[in-house]
Amino acid sequence: MEFRDVTQDLKSDLARVEKSINQNYKSDVPLIPGISSYLMSCGGKRIRPILTLLGAKLCGREADDTVVKHGCVVEYIHAATLLHDDVVDETTVRRGKETVNAKWGSDASILVGDFLISRAILILAEDCERKIIQAVTEATKVLVEGGIHEYTEARNIKVTEKHILDVIHRKTGSMISVSARIGGLLAHATEQQETAIVSFGDDFGMA
């Protein structure tokens, strides 16, 4: 089975996630939905929400409203890191389109990134699933550490393979892994199931 087969099976659930993503970044500050809508329309496979849906389904919970809503959490954090990374790296094009910082400026890019993180936190707080909150905040900490680690070695021409893999694990693997784990935790996964999901997520994130 290929990845597109998985997305096809989840087509209706993903449509609900997409709707939830677009609803949850609404704000009466016009710049926020304007930039958020632009960013979310720039493409992307929605791998993280897919893994949340799959994690829940594999552990016996279908994509109800709570699962769908949690599919937005890591996607918002991921989107925020793209906004922040493009400022740090001074990137002007992503996925064939102007980056937000190129179009609106670095200040707007950083601030809307902060807003998206706050939305992710609010979604988590609404259900107060302590284990999920801990998992997401730990993964976010690891992600930020990875970004700082990458930044401090950016001009090191002797950077090692170990360093590169560590950065990939922190910046990409950690959030992909926790995406699947969120789904499992929402389905009250057993300890064995949770371990298997985390292991899969780690490997998938590094692939």
Structure tokens at 133: 């909150």
| DSSP, res 64 | -
Query: Per-residue confidence at 119, pLDDT binned at 50, 70, 90?
Result: very high
Average pLDDT on 131-139 reads 95
Q: What pLDDT sits at residue 3?
A: 67
Strands, E, within 69-135: which ranges? 93-94, 97-98
- Of the listed ranges 41-50, 79-88, 105-114, the one predicted with least confidence: 41-50
Average pLDDT on 50-67 reads 94
Structure tokens at 116: 């998206």
pTM: 0.90
What homologous superfamily is domain 3-206 in, according to CATH? Answer: Farnesyl Diphosphate Synthase (1.10.600.10)
Query: What Å distances lie between residue 108 and 80, 93, 121, 153, 171, CA to CA?
Result: 12, 16, 20, 27, 22
Q: Please name every residue paired with 94 in a beta bridge, in sequence order, or none if there are none.
A: 97
